[in-house]
C-alpha cells in the first residue's frame, strides 16, 4: 500500500508517501531498546475507552507490576502520559514551588536538564559539580546536603549521558536527616538494574518505558513515597502544570477514576505486557542477566584494547560508555555500523562529544549471542575506520 496525496496549496503537485516499512535496527543505543514481540502484539489490540472498567483494571495491573520493578511496597505508583522527560517535569512541577531550595548532584546531561526545569519553576538552586562520568561519595553527599539544607534533593541514578551509576543510600539518608524530599531520575535504571525505591529511601522516582522496560517510548512510570504524597496533599500553591498535576493524575488513575485526560490506551497495553514479560522472567533474574551480559561486553571491549569511561564499580550494567580510541572518528563508526549492520549506537555529547560511544545492552539484546554479535560487528567497523588492536 502507498498513497498519492494532493498537497494542499500546491494543487499541481502530488506527494507520494510510501508504505510504513521501518528498517530493521538492532537498538544497541542508550534507548529506545528492542521490544519483545508480545509487546508489539499488545500494542495492536483493540482499544477501549479511557474510563472503561477494562482499562481501569489495566491501569491497576500496571501500578501493581510497577511496585515490583521500582521495589516499593508503601509507595504509590502511577504513570505520566508523556515520555521520561515528562516524568522529570512532573517531579519538578509538583515538588518545587517558587523559592524552594533544591540541591542537585550534577554530573551529566540529565542533572543539567533537571536544573533547567527547576530554574524555570523558580527554584533556589544549589549545585554540586563533578565531571561527566564521576559519582559522589557518601561523605560528599552528607557534606553538601548538610551545608545547603535544601527542601528537595535531586540526583540521577543512572546517567545516560555518561554511563555512571550513582548510589542513592547516603544521599537519601542525609536528605531525610535534613527534612528534605529526594527526587531520583531512574530513566535508565528501571527494569535494567535495581532501583530499590523503599530500601534506598527515594521519595519521587520517574522513569521511561523505552530502556530497561523494553517497551516503546511514550509513558513515564513514577513512584512516590508516602512522605511525598503527604507533602503534596499539604501543598497550598497550585501546581503550575495542570497536565502534570500528580494529585489529579493519582485521583484519576488510582482513587476515584474521575476523568483527568484521555490516557494513551495502547501504550498502557504495551507497558502492561512489557511488565508481565519482566515479571515472568523475574526482576532479579533480569538484573542478573544484564550483569552477566555487561561483564561479557566489557571483557570483549577490553580484549579489543579499548577502555571503559567509567570505573568498574560505578558502571550502569545496561549502558556502557566506551572511550573512542585515538585517531578514530566516532561519527563515522556509528554511521557505518548503522548502514552496514543496521546497528544503532550513540555518541557522547556535551563534554563527552567525540570521546565516547554509548552502547546499550538491555532487554531482549542482553543475551550472550547478541553481545558476541555486537562485539564482532563493532570490531569489524572499528577496523574499517582505521583502528587496529
The SS3 assignment for 202 reads coil
Among the residue ranges 212-220, 288-296, 297-305, 379-387, the one whose residues contact a second copy (CB under 8 A):
212-220
Beta carbon nearer to a second copy, 216 or 325? 216
Which one of the spans 127-135, 214-222, 313-321, 351-359 is the region binding a second copy (CB under 8 A)?
A: 214-222
Stretch touching a second copy by CB under 8 A, among 18-26, 293-301, 305-313, 351-359: 18-26
Nearest to 253 by CA among 108, 11, 111, 57: 57
The dihedral through the CA atoms of 283, 287, 288, 289 has a sign that is: positive
Residue (65 or 202) nearer to a second copy, CB:
65
> From residue 350 to residue 379, what is the string marking binding to a second copy with x (rule CB under 8 A)?
------------------------------
The answer to whether 193 touches 290, Cβ cutoff 8 Å, is yes
Q: What's the number of CA atoms in the CB half-sphere (13 Å) around residue 124? A: 7
User: Is-cis flag, bond preceding 197, omega within 30?
Assistant: no
8 binds a second copy (CB under 8 A): yes
Q: Which of residues 35-64 bind a second copy (CB under 8 A)?
A: 35, 38, 40-50, 52, 54, 58, 61, 64
Q: Within positions 107 to 146, which residues make up the interface with a second copy, using CB under 8 A?
A: 113, 116-117, 119-121
CA distance linking residue 186 with residue 380, whole number of Å? 34
Distance CA 8, CA 275 (A): 43
- Interacting stretch for a second copy, rule CB under 8 A, among 71-79, 149-157, 222-230, 290-298? 71-79
Could you say whether residue 205 binds a second copy (CB under 8 A)?
no
The three-class DSSP label of residue 189 is coil
216 binds a second copy (CB under 8 A): yes
DSSP reduced 3-state for 157? coil
Binding mask 257-296 for a second copy (x = CB under 8 A): --xxxxxxxxx-xx-xx--x--xx-x--------------
Size of the site for a second copy (CB under 8 A): 90
Q: Among residues 18 and 388, whose Cβ is nearest to a second copy?
A: 18
Residues 6+ apart with CB under 8 A from 268: 55, 58, 59, 62, 79, 219
Q: State the CB neighbour count (10 A cutoff) for residue 370.
A: 18
Q: Give least dist CB 242 to a second copy, A.
A: 5
Amino acid at each position: 500500500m502507498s498513497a498519492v496525496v494532493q498537497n494542499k496549496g500546491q494543487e499541481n503537485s502530488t506527494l507520494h508517501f510510501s508504505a510504513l516499512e521501518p528498517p530493521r535496527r538492532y537498538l544497541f543505543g542508550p534507548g529506545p531498546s528492542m521490544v519483545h514481540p508480545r509487546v508489539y502484539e499488545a500494542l495492536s489490540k483493540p482499544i477501549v475507552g479511557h474510563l472503561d472498567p477494562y482499562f481501569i483494571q489495566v491501569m491497576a495491573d500496571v501500578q501493581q507490576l510497577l511496585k515490583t520493578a521500582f521495589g516499593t511496597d508503601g509507595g504509590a505508583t502511577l504513570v505520566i502520559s508523556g515520555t521520561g522527560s515528562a516524568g522529570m517535569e512532573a517531579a519538578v512541577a509538583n515538588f518545587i514551588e517558587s523559592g524552594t531550595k533544591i540541591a542537585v548532584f550534577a554530573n551529566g546531561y540529565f542533572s543539567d536538564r533537571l536544573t533547567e526545569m527547576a530554574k524555570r519553576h523558580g527554584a533556589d538552586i544549589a549545585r554540586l559539580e563533578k565531571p561527566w562520568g564521576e559519582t559522589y561519595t557518601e561523605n560528599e553527599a552528607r557534606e553538601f546536603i548538610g551545608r545547603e539544607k535544601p527542601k528537595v534533593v535531586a540526583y540521577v541514578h543512572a546517567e545516560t549521558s555518561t554511563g555512571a551509576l550513582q548510589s542513592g543510600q547516603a544521599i537519601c539518608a542525609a536528605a531525610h536527616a535534613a527534612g528534605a524530599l529526594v527526587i531520583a531520575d531512574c530513566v535508565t535504571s528501571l527494569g535494567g538494574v535495581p532501583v530499590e525505591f523503599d530500601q534506598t529511601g527515594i521519595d519521587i522516582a520517574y522513569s521511561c518505558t523505552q530502556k530497561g522496560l523494553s517497551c516503546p517510548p511514550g509513558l513515564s512510570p513514577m513512584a512516590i513515597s508516602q512522605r511525598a504524597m503527604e507533602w503534596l496533599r499539604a501543598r497550598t500553591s497550585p501546581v503550575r502544570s495542570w497536565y502534570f498535576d500528580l494529585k489529579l493524575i493519582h485521583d484519576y488513575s488510582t482513587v476515584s477514576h474521575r476523568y483527568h485526560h484521555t490516557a494513551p490506551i495502547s501504550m498502557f497495553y504495551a507497558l502492561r505486557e512489557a511488565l508481565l514479560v519482566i515479571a515472568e522472567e523475574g526482576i532479579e533474574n533480569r538484573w542478573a542477566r544484564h550483569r552477566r551480559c555487561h561483564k561479557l561486553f566489557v571483557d570483549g571491549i577490553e580484549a579489543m584494547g579499548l577502555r571503559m569511561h567509567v570505573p568498574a564499580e560505578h558502571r550502569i550494567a545496561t549502558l556502557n560508555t566506551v572511550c573512542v580510541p585515538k585517531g578514530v572518528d566516532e561519527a563515522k563508526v556509528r554511521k557505518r555500523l548503522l548502514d552496514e549492520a543496521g546497528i544503532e549506537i550513540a555518541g557522547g555529547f556535551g563534554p563527552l562529544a567525540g570521546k565516547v560511544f554509548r552502547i546499550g545492552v538491555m532487554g531482549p539484546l542482553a543475551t550472550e549471542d547478541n553481545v558476541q554479535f555486537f562485539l564482532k560487528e563493532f570490531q569489524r567497523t572499528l577496523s574499517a575506520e582505521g583502528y587496529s588492536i
